[in-house]
């Protein structure tokens, strides 16, 4: 038995257990359920996965910027305010690139 057959058997058993209705493997309702799964899988591949990837990328970039800011702050603390203006400028430029991209 392969995965779709297992899935169909599980659906038939669940319907029988939950609703007391017997359906067979050639019942058209199973084709509708399987079609729904195909549509859902395609939606996940085309919409959800790219959005999740974009969120991961933005999160990684945000973490990198926070770490860079913390490092810049350490330098500022050591060197004083005069050197800080260039660090603030660099941090602002990084934030702007993140918003653009």
pLDDT digit string (tens) for 60-96?
999 999 999 998 888 877 776 555 566 566 666 666 6
Query: Can you tell me the distance from the alpha carbon of 41 to that of 31, in angstroms, rounded to the nearest whole number?
Result: 15
pLDDT digits (tens, 9 = 90+) for 2-21: 776 788 899 899 999 999 99
Please check whether residue 37 is in contact with residue 10, taking contact to mean a CB–CB distance below 8 angstroms: no
Predicted pLDDT of residue 42? 93
pLDDT digits (tens, 9 = 90+) for 21-65: 999 999 999 889 889 999 999 999 999 999 999 999 999 999 999
Predicted pLDDT of residue 78? 77
Predicted pLDDT of residue 22? 93
| Tokens standing for residue 37 | 């799964």
Predicted pLDDT of residue 75? 81
| Tokens standing for residue 56 | 């991961």
38-53 burial by CB neighbour count: b if 16+ within 10 A, else e? eeeeeeeeeeeeeeee
Predicted pLDDT of residue 8? 87
């Amino acid at each position: 038995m392969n995965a779709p057959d297992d899935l169909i058997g599980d659906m038939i058993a669940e319907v029988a257990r939950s609703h007391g209705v017997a359906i067979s493997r050639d019942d058209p309702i199973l084709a509708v359920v399987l079609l729904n799964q195909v549509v859902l899988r395609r939606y996940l591949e085309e919409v959800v996965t790219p959005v999740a990837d974009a969120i991961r990328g933005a999160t990684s970039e945000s973490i990198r910027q926070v770490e860079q800011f913390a490092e810049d702050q350490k330098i500022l603390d050591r060197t004083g305010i005069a050197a800080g203006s260039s660090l603030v400028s660099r941090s602002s430029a990084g934030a702007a690139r993140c918003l653009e991209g």
